[in-house]
Amino acid sequence: MCSCSTFPNKQNTLSSMNLWLSRTLHNLKPLQWTRTQSFHKQQVHDILNQCTNLNHLHQTQAFMITTSLDKDNIFLSQLIHTSASLGFPSFAYSLFIYNHRPNIFLYNNTIWALSSFNAPHAIFLFNRIRLLGLFPDNYSFPFVLKAVVNLLDCVVGKQIHCQVVSSGFDSHVSVVTSLVRMYCSCLHVSYARKLFDEITFKRFSLWNAMIAGYAKQGDTANARSLFDCMPEKDKDVVSWTAIISAYTQVHDPNEAIALFHRMQLHNVQPDEIAILAVLSACADLGALELGEWIHNYIEKHKLHKIVPLCNSLIDMYAKSGKISKALEVFKNMRNKTIITWTTMIAGLALHGLGKEALAIFSCMEKARVKPNEVTFIAVLSACSHVGLVEIGRDYFVSMESKYGIVPKIEHYGCMIDLLGRAGYLQEATELVRLMPYEANAAVWGSLLAAATRCGDAELAAEALRHLIMLEPDNSGNYSLLSNTYAALGRWSESRIVRKVMRNAGVEKKPGVSFIEVNNRVYEFIAGDKLDVYFVGTYDVLHSINEQLKMVCPKTAYRGPLDVDD
């Protein structure tokens, strides 16, 4: 059988059909067909619902040929649709090309079948519709626009948009919704918004498409404005998921979690995508209570077999400080993908459990799962956290020699960090000079941190010079060099760095901390006395300090109590 990217010629397919027919007429039992029954529409539906593989599809086609049902475009369209749904678009196309009198219904199903697997051919079939004297309908346009989205070809999309207008479907909601999705996917959100505003009667699908378009661009302001204007009765799980994902994408986990709570108050059940978005927000904030609630929700609704959800749970538990729970989820997974293994290795490395991380990597190799580029970033990071320099060097070399993965700048950055942490400053500096990439901020930052730890002020100053050009507003770089000079007793130079920092207008970013109480995450910023929670927090700190004076006088703080303390 041909692959998804190629299509059969007529002669080969006819001979194949004869072979299928001779084989399957003697083997119709798996689909439980009764030869004496008269086959009407519902029975054909039932037969197609039993199909689970290509062999079943062959049997179905063979039986339809012997009963002349293959000449009925409705039955043939259903077979084409089932074939594509099961992942056999080439077979679906072979059914189409041997029909001598295709109608628009048959064309639509075939275009839909090819839209995700062979988008250029789907567009080619769409263009043939008018040549045969047929006219595209309100199904033809959404199906071919799906192919355009997969190609990200806005020029073709605009051509089809012209046909939509000339065919009179420019006010049809499903067609306009597909156009909105197409323009958003091709990064022409302004065109999409113009179409959205021109439609007077808006269904929820159109609202969702426009909100998702803004979300994909990271434009939370417009996405939120549209979401708030959307009628409450039209807000479904897709709407809520789109806006939650938008805030997760721009790393605003607080708002993502707040929206998730609102979604629950509206009795909207989260789907897999919504859960993934919220778990990502929980991981960013370390919102363990909410993460555990979601874990229970996954178990209760029997979603634990969905691999991406389990991967997100591992990531959430690791970043929230519960590495034991992350390992528990990992060990209970039957189907582990490369993402599963990599997430677990990265989680262990994050907790400084380098040897345990490398043990997981060893198990991964024994399971014959081939590591990818991200896996080696996690592995090298694990080596860096526990100072396994020799092992790290071996893994770095084996990337290309054993797995054919050419190291990228991220891998060189990990090696420089590993060498710097272990005190191999000269080797780290040499690697920066020899690597086939221009050093970025992460590389120079690792070198600056290493030089600071080892007290090499000259190397630290050189690293800072590069960092000032790459990250002129990063106050942490200046602080590291200033602290290095101070540690060496070179106070005048330390003050000069601070002065340069002030003259450049670089402000030190205040520290931020989070605390989760009753599934709500509170943010505290150092020095922020205007926060509504400040007064209460200040009173509690005073109370604790007074109690400490009574219980343990030496431990209590004697100076003026301030948030920065």
Q: Domain-by-domain residue ranges, the chain? A: 1-101, 408-513, 527-551
Task: Give pLDDT, residue 527.
Answer: 54
At residue 546 the predicted structure's pLDDT band, cuts being 50, 70 and 90, is: confident
Supply 74's token pair: 């409705």
Alpha-carbon span 224 to 166, nearest angstrom: 34
Alpha-carbon span 349 to 343, nearest angstrom: 10
Q: Would you tell me how many other CB atoms lie within 10 Å of the CB of residue 281?
A: 27
Task: Give pLDDT, residue 285.
Answer: 84
Residue 175 and residue 140 in contact, taking contact as beta carbons nearer than 8 Å = no
Of residues 8 and 272, more confidence is placed in 272
> Stretch 387-405: mean pLDDT, rounded?
93
Task: Give pLDDT, residue 206.
Answer: 93
> Stretch 118-146: mean pLDDT, rounded?
90
Chain segment 192-224, per-residue pLDDT in tens: 999 999 988 888 999 999 999 999 888 999 999
| Nearest-5° Cα angle at 373, 449 to 330 | 95
Q: What is the dihedral of CA 169, 172, 174, 175, to 10 degrees?
A: 20
Task: Give pLDDT, residue 441.
Answer: 85
Query: Most confidently modeled of 53-62, 288-297, 498-507?
Result: 288-297
Model's pTM, two decimal places?
0.70
As to burial, measured by CB atoms within 10 angstroms (0-12 exposed, 13-18 middle, 19+ buried), residue 284 is buried
pLDDT for 497 beyond 80? no
pLDDT for 187 beyond 70? yes
Task: Give pLDDT, residue 225.
Answer: 94
Please state, rounded to an integer, the average pLDDT across all residues of the chain: 81
- The topology (CATH level 3) of 408-513 is 1.25.40
pLDDT for 443 beyond 70? yes
At residue 41 the predicted structure's pLDDT band, cuts being 50, 70 and 90, is: low
> Stretch 96-108: mean pLDDT, rounded?
81
pLDDT for 429 beyond 80? yes
472 Cα distance to chain centroid: 30
pLDDT for 357 beyond 80? yes
pLDDT above 70 as % of the chain? 79
Of residues 95 and 368, more confidence is placed in 368
pLDDT for 417 beyond 50? yes
At residue 563 the predicted structure's pLDDT band, cuts being 50, 70 and 90, is: very low
Task: Give pLDDT, residue 503.
Answer: 67
Measured N-to-C along each axis, helices 389-403 and 409-421 cross at an angle, to the nearest 10 degrees, of 160
Task: Give pLDDT, residue 30.
Answer: 43
Task: Give pLDDT, residue 520.
Answer: 60
Instruction: Identify the CA nearest to 559 among candidates 543, 542, 547.
Output: 542
At residue 31 the predicted structure's pLDDT band, cuts being 50, 70 and 90, is: very low
Residue listed under structure tokens 């990250």: 471
Residue 376 and residue 349 in contact, taking contact as beta carbons nearer than 8 Å = no
Those residues whose C-beta lies under 8 Å from the C-beta of residue 197, and which sit 6 or more positions away, are: none
Task: Give pLDDT, residue 338.
Answer: 96
pLDDT for 521 beyond 70? no
Q: How many CA atoms lie within 13 A of 96 on its CB side?
A: 28
Residue 7 and residue 94 in contact, taking contact as beta carbons nearer than 8 Å = yes
At residue 49 the predicted structure's pLDDT band, cuts being 50, 70 and 90, is: confident
Chain segment 364-375, per-residue pLDDT in tens: 999 999 999 999
Alpha-carbon span 31 to 58, nearest angstrom: 11
Query: Most confidently modeled of 418-427, 477-486, 519-528, 547-556?
Result: 418-427
At residue 13 the predicted structure's pLDDT band, cuts being 50, 70 and 90, is: very low
Residue 74 and residue 36 in contact, taking contact as beta carbons nearer than 8 Å = no
User: Among the listed ranges 167-171, 446-450, 498-502, which one has the minimum average pLDDT value?
Assistant: 498-502
Of residues 48 and 323, more confidence is placed in 323
> Stretch 479-490: mean pLDDT, rounded?
69
Task: Give pLDDT, residue 536.
Answer: 64
Task: Give pLDDT, residue 179.
Answer: 95
Residue listed under structure tokens 């799962």: 369
> Stretch 477-498: mean pLDDT, rounded?
71
At residue 5 the predicted structure's pLDDT band, cuts being 50, 70 and 90, is: very low
Task: Give pLDDT, residue 528.
Answer: 56
Query: Most confidently modeled of 1-5, 114-118, 455-459?
Result: 114-118
Residue 451 and residue 463 in contact, taking contact as beta carbons nearer than 8 Å = yes
Instruction: Identify the CA nearest to 106 among candidates 140, 138, 66.
Output: 140
